[in-house]
Each structure stands twice: as C-alpha cells, then as structure tokens.
Amino acid sequence: MKNFLFQVVAQVSAFFIQLNQRIAISLNSFIGRTAYVLMAMIDRQKLSLYEQIAVTEGDQELVLQQTELNLLNAASQVRDHAKATDEWTAQHTEAINSIAESLMLHFDWEEDYVNQYMKEVIESIDGLEFDLEE
C-alpha cells in the first residue's frame, strides 16, 4: 500500500510539474510577444536600436568563443608540427607559452586548467613530458 501511494504521489506530482512548465513556457511567450508589439507601437526606433544592441552583443560573444577555440586548435597545430618534424624546439615552447598566456589573460582560464590542457597536448607526443617551469 505504501509503495502504491508513493508511486501515485510521484506520478501526479510529475504530471503537475510538466503541466506547469508547459503553461509557463506558453505564458512567457505570450508576454514576450505582447511586450514586443507594445514597444513597437510606442517607439519603433528605440526598439530597433535595442534589437541591434542585442544582436551585436551576441555576435561579440560568438567571436570570443571562436577565438578561444582557435587558441586551443593552435596548441594542437603546434603539437602536430613538432610530430611532423620529429623534434620539439624552443619555438614550439614559445608558441605553447603564448597560447597558455592568452587563455589565462583573455579568457580567464585558471593556471591549473591551462597547465593540465597543455600537458595533455604535449604528452600526446610519445617521449615528451610536460615540464612546468616554475
């Protein structure tokens, strides 16, 4: 009997939670569309300006994300070049250090995370070990 009641309460609660979520999504969508139409009727130019700002801010975030991904890809390219030439040179070290510094300064990566990532990249070459210069 306890098990049955427990299951009933769980199922009924889940039903009402899902119903509530659907109602909230519909209500939020209605409120958003209504507010948009009202703002357009009140001041179409101001609304257009706000739309441009929202799109620009989103674009800048995407550019930053793409730059961060490009840095991570560059670390792999440095590794691949070292593999292709069968040697790790001072230029490879400088490139990896520059990438690591950029991740910390411009993308707020913690030093420990940068070191861990670079260690994985470098040590993927057989025989190389990541040496953290203190």
Give yes or no for a contact between 82 and 88, defined as CB atoms under 8 angstroms apart: yes
Return per-residue pLDDT of the chain as tens, 134 residues. 888 999 999 999 999 999 898 899 889 899 989 998 999 999 989 888 888 887 776 677 888 899 999 999 999 999 999 999 999 999 999 999 999 999 999 999 999 999 999 999 999 988 888 876 64
What is the pTM for the complete model shown?
A: 0.56
The identity of residue 87, as a single letter, is E
Distance from C-alpha of 132 to C-alpha of 115, rounded to nearest angstrom: 8
The identity of residue 6, as a single letter, is F
Distance from C-alpha of 13 to C-alpha of 11, rounded to nearest angstrom: 5
Domain residue spans of the chain? 1-42, 54-126
| Structure tokens that stand for 71 in this block | 């840095």
| Structure tokens that stand for 43 in this block | 């001041």
